[in-house]
A and B are shown apart, each in its own frame.
Chain A
Amino acid sequence: DSGVTQTPKHLITATGQRVTLRCSPRSGDLSVYWYQQSLDQGLQFLIQYYNGEERAKGNILERFSAQQFPDLHSELNLSSLELGDSALYFCASSPGPQSSGYGYTFGSGTRLTVV
């Protein structure tokens, strides 16, 4: 157990639907990162939050949004889902605004399947 908790582990939904992925960071970590991993793209950075504020944005689609709450957990919202959104979505956390000497700690991911 890495200490980063992601729910749900698996999600199957239809095209056009909206889903919410949840992440609880490791105790004491203030940064949360979201990554998408698909077979052809590898791990792609989506967004980082640090202590409730957006810190960095990657190639995140306009249909996707995220937020970090006062208790530091984060949610990634994916809307108007398309078949191509099927992927593993990972959350990671780190103590500060930058990746530390060990990078960061990943959760076990949410596997999203859009049918």
Chain B
Amino acid sequence: EDQVTQSPEALRLQEGESSSLNCSYTVSGLRGLFWYRQDPGKGPEFLFTLYSAGEEKEKERLKATLTKKESFLHITAPKPEDSATYLCAVHAGGSSNTGKLIFGQGTTLQVKP
């Protein structure tokens, strides 16, 4: 069964304290791995797509990396405005002719000034 697990569930950082969020996946053929940011009461907002092991994408203080079994979202020198829930999702080979994504439970990040 295709599965996505994120850790930790919650993370509290001081402003400027860098850290990483983990997304482990078990899928029948990865077609794409997505990172989203979700603010309270709002819909998820797209951050990155990764397709193959070794790929990296960056945006401001965020960098996403991908291996054959997991993805990391690295946050460098975070600011309070980076506080949000970060969701990881996969597009599995078994759903290749559809747009179905399987989401992890998310990591809720709080950055204190």
* Contacts A102-B49, A103-B36, A103-B49 given; does A97 touch B43 at CB 8 Å: no
Complexed CA–CA distance, A105 and B46 (Å): 7
Contact between chains at B98 and A43 (CB < 8 Å): no
Q: In the assembled complex, which residues on chain A have CB atoms less than 8 Å from the CB atom of B41? A: 108-109, 111
Interface presence of A45 (CB below 8 A): yes
Interface presence of B86 (CB below 8 A): no
Contact between chains at B98 and A107 (CB < 8 Å): no
* Chain B residues numbered 3-60 whose CB sits less than 8 Å from any CB in chain A: 32, 34, 36, 41-46, 49
Q: How big is the B interface, by class?
A: 20 to 34
Contact between chains at B43 and A56 (CB < 8 Å): no
Q: How big is the A interface, by class?
A: 20 to 34
Q: In the assembled complex, which residues on chain A have CB atoms less than 8 Å from the CB atom of B32? A: 99, 101, 103
Contact between chains at A98 and B102 (CB < 8 Å): no
Interface presence of A74 (CB below 8 A): no
Interface string of B87-113 (1 = CB under 8 A from A): 101010001111111111110000000
Contact between chains at A58 and B103 (CB < 8 Å): no
Most buried by A among B32, B46, B89: B46
From B44, B95, B100, B105, contact of A106 by CB (8 A): B44
Q: Which B residue sits closest to A58, measured CB to CB?
A: B100
Q: Which A residue sits closest to B91, measured CB to CB?
A: A99
Q: In the assembled complex, which residues on chain A have CB atoms less than 8 Å from the CB atom of B87? A: 43
Contact between chains at A97 and B42 (CB < 8 Å): no
Chain B min CB distance to A39 (Å): 10
Q: Which B residue sits closest to A108, measured CB to CB?
A: B43
* Contacts A43-B87, A98-B91, A103-B49 given; does A2 touch B43 at CB 8 Å: yes
Contact between chains at A109 and B43 (CB < 8 Å): yes
Contact between chains at A45 and B42 (CB < 8 Å): no
Q: Which A residue sits closest to B106, measured CB to CB?
A: A42
Chain B min CB distance to A48 (Å): 6
Complexed CA–CA distance, A94 and B49 (Å): 15
* Contacts A56-B95, A103-B49 given; does A45 touch B102 at CB 8 Å: yes
